Structure 1
Amino acid sequence: MTDLGAKISYLALADGTPVYTADSAPVGVVEHVLADERQDIFHGVIIGPSRSHNVHRFAHREQIADLYERGVVLSVPVGQLHEPGTDAPAARAEEDDDPVRTGVRRAWEWLVRPH
């Protein structure tokens, strides 16, 4: 892994920032930072498709080890990341205060919203 620079806040994390596993393997790039800036709550990031993973993935804040100027390092294997689901109403009904489900729902809602 190249020099990732200094640690940063989620507020400074840019779309297009590379995402890596804990052992330095590239995962993809940040496609969107999910946060409620007014309440200063960082939910996680949507990771865009890559050559090895042709799907969007959602990394909840608890699945992220560190944020750097030039990279995001995950704390879990790629297989533990969630793919934003297609059944948002069902996910909303099943949340039960589960922060990962909440984040996955928000990731899906961002993906299906016209940009």
Structure 2
Amino acid sequence: MTDDDDGVAISYKVLRRGTPVRSADGVELGKVRRVHEAKRENIFDGIDVDTPQGVRFLDAPEIARIAERWVTATFPAAEAADHLVDRGSSLGRRVGASKTARRAKRAGESLRERWDRR
């Protein structure tokens, strides 16, 4: 196997978490976090990708090949921002920034400090 060989093609059902995701020009975009499928139709829907910017969704039509060593996207790295969709919900961002959530986080940090000092 050479460095450019991605191995044999595999099914999305055996795609493992942590498999690298590369652009069409070979730049690593991130790693597989989760595989999505439409269970009722038994169809591959896409993957969640852990990127330096956070978790992003890559839709099935934008995936050229799923292989043993990495997943290859259909677009070059320069266009990655246009194709990788942010998976964070606006509700989750609002709840995380609420006064109650901030207070709970501070209380947890305080408890951890007291636990560590015992």
Question: Which range, TM-score by smaller chain?
Answer: 0.5 to 0.7
Checking the alignment, whether the CA contact within 8 Å between 2:6 and 2:68 is kept in structure 1 is: yes
**1:57 alignment counterpart:** 56
| One-letter amino acid of the structure 1 residue matched with residue 86 of structure 2 | E
How many pairs are equivalent?
85
* Equivalence map 1:1-115=2 (5 Å): 2-49=4-51, 53-76=52-75, 77-80=79-82, 81-87=84-90
What is the alpha-carbon root mean square deviation over aligned residues?
Answer: 1.7
SS at the partner of 1:5? Answer: coil
| One-letter amino acid of the structure 1 residue matched with residue 59 of structure 2 | H
Identity of aligned residues (%): 33
Which 4+ runs in 1 deviate beyond 4 A? none
Checking the alignment, whether the CA contact within 8 Å between 2:55 and 2:88 is kept in structure 1 is: no
Q: Give the Cα–Cα distance (whole angstroms) in 2 for the partners of residues 2 and 83 of structure 1.
A: 29
Alignment TM-score, normalising by the size of structure 2: 0.64
**2:115 alignment counterpart:** none
Using the TM superposition, give the Cα deviation of residue 37 of structure 1 relative to its aligned residue in structure 2, in angstroms. 4.0
Alignment TM-score, normalising by the size of structure 1: 0.66
Unpaired runs of at least 5, structure 2:
92-118
**1:95 alignment counterpart:** none
Unpaired runs of at least 5, structure 1:
89-115
Q: Which has the higher helix share?
A: 2
1:64-106 CA distance string (max 9 Å, x none): 1111011000112311211114147xxxxxxxxxxxxxxxxxx
Q: Which has the larger radius of gyration?
A: 2
